[in-house]
Structure 1
Amino acid sequence: MNIDILTLFPEVFKIFDCSIIGRAKQKGIVSINIHNIRDYSLDKHKKVDDYPYGGGAGMLMKAQPIVDCIRSVKKKSKGKVVYLGPRGKTFNQEVAKRLANENELIFLCGHYEGIDERARKCIDEEISLGDFILTGGEAACIPIIDSICRLVPGVLSSKISYEDESFYGGLLEYPQYTRPEIFEGESVPEILLSGHHENIRKWRRLKSLEVTRKYRYDLFKKVQLTDEDKKLLRKK
């Protein structure tokens, strides 16, 4: 997958040189290219913002640097342009799975009070991280790209690595344990030490259902319970 990020603060994205995403980049599974919107400003001081017409607080990103940056990147990428802004639908795991199927993506990070409306003609989709205010699109872009890259084949060690994680199948993840077997008087559940894979699978499924029902009932209500799910819950 090839990802292009358009931003005023390229240094923020050094985080993608670390950990799982960093290793995926080294292997050539994922390519992340950072483009400084400021480089496309026609202003001699490389100014990219100005006061909004009609008055109001703050500064607005000018259309020209944004549009020229997008058009330059589009010469090499056919990816859809995704703007991180408040008008978009809230990002979730289903959106992550959809975007992970793309070969190329271009992310535009807004800043200040947003972007000149005339730059929107170059945007294909808008995504919001949630109903709260961030300093800039960079803060939203990082978790969104991280979430997408984890679903790209080869980034994680196996398909099971992400299919068992919270939200992938609409449920929160089951409780997990590692060594030592006993910590401060608390033992690892006996079933996890049994070696009986089918019983462990059922236990994990039940715990996922219970944890989701307890902590995120809004998610639990949306789950299509299987006959096995109903049986497990009845036994409990």
Structure 2
Amino acid sequence: MTSPDPQSQPERRPDEAEDAPKYADRVFRSASGIAGGVLLLALAAWLGGDALVRGTGRTPWLALAGLLCAVPLVIAYTVRPAVFANDERLRVRNPFRTITLPWASVEGLRSGYSSEVFAGGGAKFQLWAIPVSLRARKRASRRQAQAALDDPHGRTSALLPSRNPAPTRAPADQALDDLRELAELHADHPRAQGEPTVRWAYEIIAPCAAGAVLLVILLAVM
């Protein structure tokens, strides 16, 4: 049995391990938005499918045009939005655009009435996948206030310490905190340099525009 020749093995660059991403993308999405989108799509399939199968005259064509226009919009605003983050860049998938931001180009993240990321040159992009809930923020504030009032030995508001304490940050605020931490940690990484890039989601825009045009034509000739 012969041992492999060391010289026949592929040579590895010294910085290869350092340059490779350390983990897969972290994904931030709105569970409630996805659930609402699935329900709307199911309703559209039920009503539109019935009109296509049982409709008479121009009804099937109107149903087809309506579905062609409405379904991409529902997908764009509910199922499509997502935020992907790794040690190189932040990728924001909004309803009609995908914005790729190397960490070095990220100047800040803000969670006010909506979640936003700021890039160089005064550019600002909304994070549709991380919606801000004022109700969740108020609940988190109440939990923070209650935790501050609690006796450290658990003699006031709780008889026993909780094994799974409720979070004291609203989900959107916690997500923005995680992204800020990633930005600060990886901003100086060699692979995290570059300028923001924007790509339009033509796979959403094209069928929606085609459905709208077809719907206008059908309504005009009726």
Q: TM-score range by the shorter chain?
A: under 0.3
- TM-score (ref. length: structure 2): 0.20
- TM-score (ref. length: structure 1): 0.19
Which structure would you say has the larger Rg? 2
Q: Higher RCO, 1 or 2 (CA under 8 Å, sep at least 6)?
A: 2
